[in-house]
Chains A and B, each alone.
Chain A
Amino acid sequence: MLPNRSKTSVLVFLLPPLLLYCAAVLFPILQSLFLSFFSWNGISEMEFVGFANYVRMLTADDIFWRSFFNALLYLAICLVLQLGGALVVASLLTSLRRGRELIKTLYLLPAVISTVAIAFLFVPIYSIEPVGLLNQLLHWIGLGNLERAWLSDVNTVLAAVSAPEGWRFTGLYMLIIYAALIAVPKELEEAAVLDGASKWTLFTKIRFPYIRPVWITTTIMATTYGLRGFDIPYLMTNGGPGQSSELLTTYMYKTAFTSTDFGYASTISVFIVIECLVAVGLILFLLKRKADA
């Protein structure tokens, strides 16, 4: 229990970061909420349009909905690669006796490479004319009929731009999950093994429940990172061909800085804020409920 004077000083020390947070996060969100009720191209007069931008976004904008569903699919692919991949690799790592450090470092490497470099690395990999690495590999293993221009095909482009993002952060989440896994008390595992638990039971009944808090945090991190995905799709395809790899973020960016429709771009950004809050709420709700059950 802190004495009163101490409480005040704690508040005093908490205030600067709180103000910083308000200035850097809350204020811009409110500002964008304000702008979303206007039609404004930067140099014209600001014109109050009420809910017209919201009505347009929700009922009359085909690109908006296309980008929304693209963003969800992008998120799904990223989550499977990042969390699923991380869990598998981390589990395998714990059963490894030697070379753990080397493998950890290798997996973490992509996370420290700049995004721009990753984007430019993957463009030629997906290329068909001249033949890129992926198509060459498919050809060698006898799957030549799958060869295609991955970034120009409207059916594959979204997966093709999601994969680099997923691949990039697998190592990072692997590291976090690995740290949680090696903290699982050995006695518990040994006791379970003595009771005749299989490896799968060991994982589902002992290890996973033990790392659940870390898993929740990792899921929230990966989801919010996935929802804000922007740079790799923007650099690799600029949302194309057509709107096939357009995400809400790239669409918002283009609306603001190419179409100079700042009012409407703010409307989209308000939607993205709400979407993120809903996503985090949903994850907490689902995983907490499971934990309580």
Chain B
Amino acid sequence: MKKQFRAAAVIAAAALALTACGGGGDAADPANVSPTGEIKPREISWLLSRPADGAVINIMKKLADDYAQEHPGFELNLITTPDRPSYIQKLETLAAANKLPELFDTDATPFARQLAQQGKMVDAEKLLKSLEIYDDYRPGALDYQRFDDGSLFMIPFQFELEFIWYNKALLEEAGVSVPTSLDDIPAMCTALRNAGITPIAIDGQDQWPLERYVAYQAFREAGPEFVQKLKKGEASFADPAGQKTVEWMAELGKAKCFQDGFSAQGYSDAQNQFTSGQAAMYNIGTWELPSLATDKLNPEVRDDIDFFTLPTTEGSVTAANEFVSPSGIGMAVNSKTYDPLVSDFLKFALEKYPSEYAATGALSPTTNVQTSIPANATPLYNRALETANGLGDQQAMPWDTQLDPTTNGRLQQELVLLVQGNITPEQFTTTMDATIKQNAPKFFK
């Protein structure tokens, strides 16, 4: 009978959402970015999914304190849930209850698109233009936040580049060189395994790292449009680009590219394997520069670490300078609670944010500031940052921000099975295409 309590708990949450939904007011006009009236200081909240002691939160806290000095009574309440799956659950439940705070984080997911379509988010493009800071932003940073129709409802606070970091000494030991094509990687893994080296360290527990790999071949073969079509059911895994992806993932598995038992290993497990010199490669973004390109890195491997960007393939439709360059989870502004105060605070904070952020050694989402290199950085740090200056126009989108949640969950599960060799590429294709067919219509009507 205890079981009933579990059911009760879940349904109680849903019931809460249901009752709250009835009482919810209508959303305000999302295009009205300059509300008129008096600025009445009050406490506002930002529901976010960022590291609790990270640069974004520390800077925004400081800026909010500065703003409160001029506007007594103002307070910015930052509620962070760094664990992304938990955060998404929280966000979706609050959205269902129509209880979203003034500011909240979200990727350009199908769920966020529905919120935007219901007029629950302020048009970020209009907002940034009205603050006259729109042109400061890197086009790539804004593009990452856009929905497929080009509309922009989220404001970026970061700009990151994802590289494949590698250990030169280990590659040399196995007699392999940096791959020039994605198709070289399986053979490279075999050579590394033969030399007794783990080819790639991956955080399997969080699932998104493995999902990155599924985006690569498709992005090279058919460009960023493939996943946009796939998620709506207009393309399928049975298409040539899809098949190339599936076969490649299976080959990575067959060549034992990832550490044994990767599916149960976490973020720090994977990073430790790489930084302790046990694994040859590690796919991660510039947010890890402080641990990979400063004197914090294990001295034994410090001189051996380097990175390469996503290799191309023969006949690739995207260029070598186009890869995954996310601007992180974006911040949306709730249109229902948008008033002169929120507008004024955003104007104050967004103008001051880039210089503060660049001072921490991170890449700003804008181009009007210069990132300061930390004193303890290795030469790699600067080289990584400079890569941002030569980016192409297209970028590979992480699929977890693109697919509907059910398809995404199933894809993450099936990918592990495919890579572990528990299912065949054919089974994978059939299952995934059927899943998309069943779930996509609900989100992309």
In the complex, what residues of A have CB within 8 A of residue B259's CB?
129
A151 close to B261 (CB less than 8 A): yes
A280 close to B417 (CB less than 8 A): no
In the complex, what residues of B have CB within 8 A of residue A149's CB?
260-261, 263-264
B205 part of interface (Cβ distance < 8 Å): yes
A35 close to B11 (CB less than 8 A): yes
A265 close to B10 (CB less than 8 A): yes
A215 part of interface (Cβ distance < 8 Å): no
B416 part of interface (Cβ distance < 8 Å): yes
Given A257-B92, A257-B93, A238 contacting B8 (CB threshold 8 A): no
Binds A, one of B110-118, B303-311, B346-354: B110-118
Q: Considering the complex, which residues of chain A in the window 25-52 have a beta carbon less than 8 Å from any beta carbon of chain B?
A: 25, 27-29, 31-32, 35, 39, 41-44
Looking at A154, A230, A240, A272, the one whose CB has the most chain B CB atoms below 10 A away is A240
Q: Considering the complex, which residues of chain B in the window 188-245 have a beta carbon less than 8 Å from any beta carbon of chain A?
A: 198, 204-205, 207
**What is the distance, in angstroms, from A10's C-beta to the closest C-beta of chain B?**
24
**What is the distance, in angstroms, from B265's C-beta to the closest C-beta of chain A?**
7
In the complex, what residues of B have CB within 8 A of residue A89's CB?
none
B17 part of interface (Cβ distance < 8 Å): yes
A32 close to B2 (CB less than 8 A): no
**What is the distance, in angstroms, from B440's C-beta to the closest C-beta of chain A?**
12
**What is the distance, in angstroms, from A68's C-beta to the closest C-beta of chain B?**
14
A71 to B88, CA, bound (A): 26
B11 close to A32 (CB less than 8 A): yes
In the complex, what residues of A have CB within 8 A of residue B198's CB?
129
B414 close to A43 (CB less than 8 A): no
Contact check: which of B1, B11, B17, B207 meets A224 at CB < 8 Å?
B1
Contact check: which of A29, A31, A259 meets B406 at CB < 8 Å?
A259
Interface string of B1-27 (1 = CB under 8 A from A): 111111111111111011000000000
Q: Considering the complex, which residues of chain A in the window 208-245 have a beta carbon less than 8 Å from any beta carbon of chain B?
A: 224-225, 227-228, 230, 236-243
Q: Considering the complex, which residues of chain B in the window 307-360 have a beta carbon less than 8 Å from any beta carbon of chain A?
A: none
B261 close to A29 (CB less than 8 A): no
B413 close to A31 (CB less than 8 A): no
A224 to B413, CA, bound (A): 28
B264 close to A256 (CB less than 8 A): no
A154 close to B422 (CB less than 8 A): yes
**What is the distance, in angstroms, from A284's C-beta to the closest C-beta of chain B?**
12
B262 close to A152 (CB less than 8 A): yes
Contact check: which of B263, B264, B405 meets A258 at CB < 8 Å?
B405
B264 close to A269 (CB less than 8 A): no
Q: Which residue of A lies closest to B96 (CB)?
A: A42
Contact check: which of A27, A28, A42, A227 meets B95 at CB < 8 Å?
A42
A228 close to B14 (CB less than 8 A): no
**What is the distance, in angstroms, from A154's C-beta to the closest C-beta of chain B?**
5
In the complex, what residues of A have CB within 8 A of residue B273's CB?
129
In the complex, what residues of A have CB within 8 A of residue B207's CB?
238
A93 to B48, CA, bound (A): 53
Q: DSSP class of B's interface residues: helix, strand, loop or mixed?
A: helix
A27 to B4, CA, bound (A): 11
Contact check: which of A227, A240, A257 meets B89 at CB < 8 Å?
A257
Looking at B1, B13, B89, B423, the one whose CB has the most chain A CB atoms below 10 A away is B1
A261 to B92, CA, bound (A): 11
**What is the distance, in angstroms, from B169's C-beta to the closest C-beta of chain A?**
20
Q: Which residue of B lies closest to A24 (CB)?
A: B8
Contact check: which of A42, A127, A236 meets B17 at CB < 8 Å?
A42
**What is the distance, in angstroms, from A281's C-beta to the closest C-beta of chain B?**
11
**What is the distance, in angstroms, from A213's C-beta to the closest C-beta of chain B?**
18
A43 close to B263 (CB less than 8 A): no
In the complex, what residues of B have CB within 8 A of residue A238's CB?
205, 207
A269 to B5, CA, bound (A): 11
Binds B, one of A80-88, A103-111, A167-175, A247-255: A247-255
A260 part of interface (Cβ distance < 8 Å): yes
B405 close to A241 (CB less than 8 A): no
A258 close to B11 (CB less than 8 A): no
**What is the distance, in angstroms, from A276's C-beta to the closest C-beta of chain B?**
4
Given A241-B422, A256-B14, A272-B7, A129 contacting B2 (CB threshold 8 A): no
**What is the distance, in angstroms, from B178's C-beta to the closest C-beta of chain A?**
24
A228 to B1, CA, bound (A): 9
Looking at B10, B205, B207, the one whose CB has the most chain A CB atoms below 10 A away is B10
Q: Considering the complex, which residues of chain B in the window 86-132 have a beta carbon less than 8 Å from any beta carbon of chain A?
A: 88-89, 92-93, 95-96, 111, 114-115, 118
A124 to B60, CA, bound (A): 37
A242 to B12, CA, bound (A): 29
B11 close to A266 (CB less than 8 A): yes
B14 close to A240 (CB less than 8 A): no
Given A129-B260, A258-B89, A230 contacting B414 (CB threshold 8 A): no
B409 part of interface (Cβ distance < 8 Å): yes
Q: Considering the complex, which residues of chain B in the window 12-61 have a beta carbon less than 8 Å from any beta carbon of chain A?
A: 12-15, 17-18
Given A31-B14, A43-B95, A260 contacting B265 (CB threshold 8 A): no
Given A128-B261, A129-B198, A151-B261, A272 contacting B6 (CB threshold 8 A): yes
A24 to B12, CA, bound (A): 8
What are 11 A-B residue pairs whose CB atoms fall within 8 Å in the complex?
A152-B260, A154-B417, A154-B420, A241-B413, A243-B413, A258-B409, A260-B92, A260-B96, A265-B14, A275-B3, A276-B3
Chain B: residues with CB nearer than 8 A to chain A?
Answer: 1-15, 17-18, 85, 88-89, 92-93, 95-96, 111, 114-115, 118, 198, 204-205, 207, 259-265, 273, 405-406, 409, 413-414, 416-417, 420, 422-423, 439, 442
A-B residue pairs, 9 tightest by C-beta: A149-B261, A42-B96, A151-B264, A28-B8, A276-B3, A32-B11, A259-B406, A242-B417, A269-B7
